[in-house]
């Protein structure tokens, strides 16, 4: 095709995502040591630099700067590194016959100084041994001895092509142990099964990271629920001892603390939910079949893991419900405050209305007095004018009679004049 189409910039990245982190092949007899470390979301460069130090020590290819996984053959052992959102994993492989599955783990071949400086905090560590089908069968007590005498969890997996055993406990070296007997696996099936076993161990621990947080938050939520109930009771009683402002302040503090709890734990709870789903998916992918007298991995995890997830989910739900209840009580109190303010405003308006009526009456009274006062002065002026005319003998009239006749006329003129001025002012407004 001669025409080159314009491609989306991330097309190759998206297409390659389906092929990222391929399974490592395994062939019995083989051992692996797997460690998972919490490193946070901002230490990718540090992880890559540390892995590069190990690779250079054995003259092996180093990882790319933007790598999410890397596999290297270091001679005496192989290393597989994977980077996830908040953790990374290192798996070390060695293929050689072993008599005691867990006596000389692969991790002992890794330089101790490099291990001591590895970034992050270990939260999961597993020794895994894949033994061939022709390994002599072990009696139950011999099998239990490999796991320190602990009770075992075991089943047929991969459609009966392998047997897998573990006690899911930490041993003296702080590693868990998994024993897989190959009953007809090919190299890729064995690698997938081992990887799922490692992921099952890591994801179940990651899912439980928020369990201590959920327990602590449950105690805080209990206290806040009690406080909210007390505030609600005080609101219902309405005995006047508590003002609305005090109740609103208490509710604001309570809501702020609740939202702080939700903000601090929300991410961890969601992560637990997601990791729990991954655990269930890995259990399904293993296709377990019961071995008489042993619990399957699903049965064992259902006994404690599932209730722990339910505890985390219940804690998250209680926090959300507390936040919603606090919001409803706050809204109710605000409504009561608004109703009280409306009553006060209505009373204030009624008082203002009464005062306006009184002011109007006073204004009318003042207007009447103003007519009298102005008329009085005008009548005086008219009397002076008439007196001047009489002195000049221009008009033969009686001064008192003329003044008396002028009074009504002056009053009417003043009254009409004030009315006209008032109408003009009202019209201008």
Q: Exposure pattern of 230-264 as b/e (b: 16+ CB <10 Å)?
A: ebbeebeeeeeeeeeeebeebbeebbebbeebbee
Cα–Cα distance, 124 to 198 (Å, whole number): 9
Q: Is the pLDDT of residue 95 over 60?
A: yes
DSSP helix/strand/coil, 151: coil
Please check whether residues 215 and 77 belong to one and the same domain.
no
Instruction: Give 188-201 pLDDT, tens digit per residue.
Output: 999 999 999 999 99
Write the DSSP symbol of residue 369.
H
Mean pLDDT computed over 85-96: 93
Structural domain includes residue 243 = yes
Greater confidence, 374 or 397?
A: 374
Domain boundary among 186, 203, 232: 186
Cα–Cα distance, 160 to 290 (Å, whole number): 10
Number of domains in the chain: 3
Q: Strands 78-83 and 289-290: what pairing?
A: unpaired
Domain boundary among 153, 170, 186: 186
Lowest-confidence pick of 5-19, 24-38, 335-349, 350-364: 5-19
Please check whether residues 369 and 253 belong to one and the same domain.
no
Please check whether residues 124 and 170 belong to one and the same domain.
yes
Lowest-confidence pick of 51-65, 146-160, 235-249, 289-303: 235-249
Nearest residue to 300 (alpha-carbon basis) of 413, 151, 117, 119: 151
Structural domain includes residue 1 = no
Mean pLDDT computed over 78-90: 93
In the prediction, which pLDDT does 369 show? Answer: 66
Q: Strands 176-182 and 121-131: what pairing?
A: parallel
Please check whether residues 343 and 365 belong to one and the same domain.
no
Q: Provide the pLDDT confidence category of residue 311 given band limits of 50, 70 and 90.
A: very high
In the prediction, which pLDDT does 2 show? Answer: 58
278: left (phi over 0), alpha (psi -120 to 50) or beta: alpha
In the prediction, which pLDDT does 122 show? Answer: 95
Please give the mean pLDDT across all residues of the chain.
86
Structural domain includes residue 194 = no
In the prediction, which pLDDT does 139 show? Answer: 87
Residues in contact with 298: Cβ distance below 8 Å, sequence separation at least 6, in sequence order? 283, 288
DSSP 180-245: EEESS--HHHHHHHHHHHHHHHHHHHHHTTTHHHHHHHHHHHHHHHHHHHHHHHHHHH--SSS-HH
Please check whether residues 57 and 149 belong to one and the same domain.
yes
pTM, to two decimals: 0.75
Please check whether residues 44 and 180 belong to one and the same domain.
yes
Residue 43 CB neighbour total at 10 angstroms = 18
Greater confidence, 234 or 108?
A: 108
Residue 71 CB neighbour total at 10 angstroms = 17
Share of the chain above pLDDT 90, in %: 53
In the prediction, which pLDDT does 394 show? Answer: 59
DSSP helix/strand/coil, 390: helix
Q: Where are the alpha helices (DSSP H) in 238-296?
A: 244-286
In the prediction, which pLDDT does 5 show? Answer: 79
Q: Provide the pLDDT confidence category of residue 419 given band limits of 50, 70 and 90.
A: confident
Instruction: Give 319-328 pLDDT, tens digit per residue.
Output: 999 999 989 8
Please check whether residues 34 and 178 belong to one and the same domain.
yes
Structural domain includes residue 156 = yes
Greater confidence, 183 or 375?
A: 183
Please check whether residues 340 and 378 belong to one and the same domain.
no
Q: Is the pLDDT of residue 13 over 60?
A: yes
Please check whether residues 124 and 57 belong to one and the same domain.
yes
DSSP helix/strand/coil, 355: helix
Domain boundary among 308, 323, 347: 347
Instruction: Give 207-224 pLDDT, tens digit per residue.
Output: 999 999 999 999 999 999
Structural domain includes residue 383 = yes
Instruction: Give 166-187 pLDDT, tens digit per residue.
Output: 999 999 999 999 999 999 999 9
Give the neighbor-by-neighbor strand order of the sheet with 289-290. Answer: 69-73, 78-83, 87-94, 30-38, 121-131, 176-182, 162-166, 153-157, 289-290
**What is the residue whose two structure tokens read 């201008």?**
428
Structural domain includes residue 400 = yes
Q: Which domain covers residue 132, as residue numbers? A: 21-186
Instruction: Give 249-285 pLDDT, tens digit per residue.
Output: 888 899 999 999 999 999 999 999 999 999 999 999 9
Contact 171, 153 (CB under 8 A): no
Residue spans of beta strands (DSSP E) within 7-137: 30-38, 69-73, 78-83, 87-94, 121-131
Instruction: Give 385-416 pLDDT, tens digit per residue.
Output: 766 666 666 556 666 676 677 777 777 777 77
Please check whether residues 306 and 226 belong to one and the same domain.
yes
Please check whether residues 35 and 145 belong to one and the same domain.
yes
Structural domain includes residue 373 = yes
Structural domain includes residue 2 = no
**What is the residue whose two structure tokens read 């929300």?**
266
> Is there a cis peptide before residue 29, judged by omega within 30 degrees of 0?
yes
Cα–Cα distance, 386 to 395 (Å, whole number): 9
**What is the residue whose two structure tokens read 């190299």?**
187
Please check whether residues 246 and 334 belong to one and the same domain.
yes
Q: Is the pLDDT of residue 101 over 60?
A: yes
């Amino acid at each position: 095709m001669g025409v080159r189409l314009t491609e989306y910039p991330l097309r190759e990245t998206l297409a390659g995502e389906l092929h990222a982190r391929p399974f490592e092949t395994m062939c019995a007899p083989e051992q692996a040591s797997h460690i998972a470390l919490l490193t946070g979301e901002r230490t990718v460069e540090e992880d890559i630099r540390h892995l590069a130090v190990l690779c250079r020590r054995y003259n092996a290819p180093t990882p790319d700067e933007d790598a999410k996984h890397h596999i290297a053959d270091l001679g005496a052992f192989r290393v597989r590194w994977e980077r996830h959102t908040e953790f990374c994993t290192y798996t070390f492989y060695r293929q050689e016959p072993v008599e005691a599955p867990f006596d000389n783990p692969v991790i002992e071949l890794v330089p101790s100084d490099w291990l001591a400086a590895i970034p992050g905090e270990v939260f999961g560590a597993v020794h895994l041994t894949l033994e061939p089908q022709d390994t002599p069968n072990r009696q139950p007590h011999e099998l239990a001895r490999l796991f320190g005498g602990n009770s075992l969890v075991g089943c047929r997996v991969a459609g009966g092509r392998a047997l897998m055993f573990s006690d899911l406990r930490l041993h003296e070296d702080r590693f868990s142990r998994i024993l897989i007997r190959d009953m007809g696996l090919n190299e890729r099936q064995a690698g997938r099964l081992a990887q799922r076993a490692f992921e099952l161990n890591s994801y179940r621990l990651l899912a439980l990271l928020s369990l201590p947080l959920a327990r602590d938050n449950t105690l805080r939520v209990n206290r806040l629920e009690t406080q909210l109930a007390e505030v609600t009771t005080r609101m219902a009683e309405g005995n006047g001892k508590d003002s609305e402002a005090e109740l609103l302040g208490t509710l604001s503090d309570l809501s702020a603390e609740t939202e702080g709890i939700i903000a601090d734990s929300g991410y961890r709870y969601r992560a637990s939910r997601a990791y729990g789903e991954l655990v269930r998916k890995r259990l399904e992918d293993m296709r377990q079949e019961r071995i008489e007298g042993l619990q399957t991995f699903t049965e064992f995890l259902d006994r404690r893991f599932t209730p722990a997830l339910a505890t985390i989910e219940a804690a998250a739900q209680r926090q959300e419900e507390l936040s919603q209840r606090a919001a409803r009580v706050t809204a109710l109190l605000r409504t009561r405050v608004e109703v009280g303010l409306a009553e006060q405003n209505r009373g204030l308006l009624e008082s203002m209305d009464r005062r306006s009526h009184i002011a109007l009456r006073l204004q009318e009274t003042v207007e009447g007095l103003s007519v009298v006062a102005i008329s009085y002065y005008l009548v005086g002026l008219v009397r002076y004018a008439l007196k001047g005319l009489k002195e000049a003998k221009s008009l033969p009239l009686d001064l008192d009679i003329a003044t008396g006749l002028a009074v009504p006329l002056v009053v009417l003129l003043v009254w009409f004049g004030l009315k006209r001025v008032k109408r003009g002012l009202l019209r201008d407004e």
